[in-house]
Amino acid sequence: MTQTDFVKLVMPFKDKVFRLAKRLLVSNEEAEDATQEILMKLWRNKQKISNYKNVEAFSMTMTKNFCLDRLKSKQAQNLKIVHSNYQDNNTSLQKEVENRDSVDWVSKIIEELPEQQKIILQLRDIEEYDFDEIAKVVDMNPTAIRVALSRARKTIREKLTNTHSYGVK
């Protein structure tokens, strides 16, 4: 497998890997490092790639495991929480500021979720995977995934409503 073949194979899901890493590790830099690490691992084992049925799902599983390992390791205790890159060009300034604030809130709320729910929510609501694919990545049965997803969604909304009505009611 040449470098161009590899890049072609990896291109479609490298952003998904990055976003999942960022969801779990929070920091932008950490997520970039993790993504690079995952891609390098894939590149090193490029001979075996053809044996994998679903490279994307495999990579996502790798990312999940890698990030959870990172979180458990001691290095991760120096992790900083950095939010800098949310943008939306269509709305007026006031709404934009408002949106930014609320969107920030959402990511803060998601941060507080258990890892399992974070991963599932990320794969389902952002990457739009179907339940079978998620099942492969997180190694759970679809029903359990649905339950976790439902819990995650409800928690987010509950907390969002609380923060929104804070000071108003």
Partner 1 sequence: MVLNSIEKLLEKYDNGETSLKEEQQLKAYFAQDNVAPHLESYRIMFQHFKTTKQELYTKDVPLKPKKNFVYQWISVAAVAVLMLGIFIPKIGEENRITSLDDLSPEERKVYFQTKEALAMLSSNFDKGTSGLSMLSDNFSQGTSSFNALSLASESFNVGAEKVSHVNMLGNTTNKYLKNTKENK
From 51, 77, 87, 94, residue interacting with partner 1 (rule: CB under 8 A): 87
Q: Among 18, 25, 60, 62, indicate the residue that binds partner 1 (CB under 8 A).
A: 18
Q: Is there a contact between 57 and 32 (Cβ–Cβ < 8 Å)? A: no
Q: Are 38 and 69 in contact (CB under 8 A)?
A: no
The answer to the question of residue 41 lying near partner 1 (CB under 8 A) is no
The alpha carbon of 146 is separated from its chain's Cα centroid by a whole number of angstroms, namely 17
Report how far apart, in Å, the C-alpha atoms of 9 and of each of 6, 39, 41, 138 are.
5, 11, 14, 22
Task: Please choose, out of 49-57, 60-68, 72-80, 155-163, the segment that lies near partner 1 by the rule CB under 8 A.
Answer: 155-163
| Residue 19 phi, psi dihedral angles, 5° rounding | -65, -40
19 scored as a contact of partner 1 (CB under 8 A): yes
Q: Does position 49 bind partner 1 by CB under 8 A?
A: no
Query: Does 35 help bind partner 1 (rule: CB under 8 A)?
Result: yes
Total of chain residues touching partner 1, rule CB under 8 A: 45
Q: Smallest Cα–Cα separation from 122: which of 12, 11, 39, 19?
A: 19
What gap in Å lies between CA 38 and CA 20, rounded to an integer?
12
Footprint of partner 1 (CB under 8 A)? 3, 6-7, 14-15, 17-19, 22-23, 32, 35-36, 39-40, 43-44, 85-88, 99, 102-103, 105-107, 125-128, 130, 145-150, 153-154, 156-157, 160-161, 164
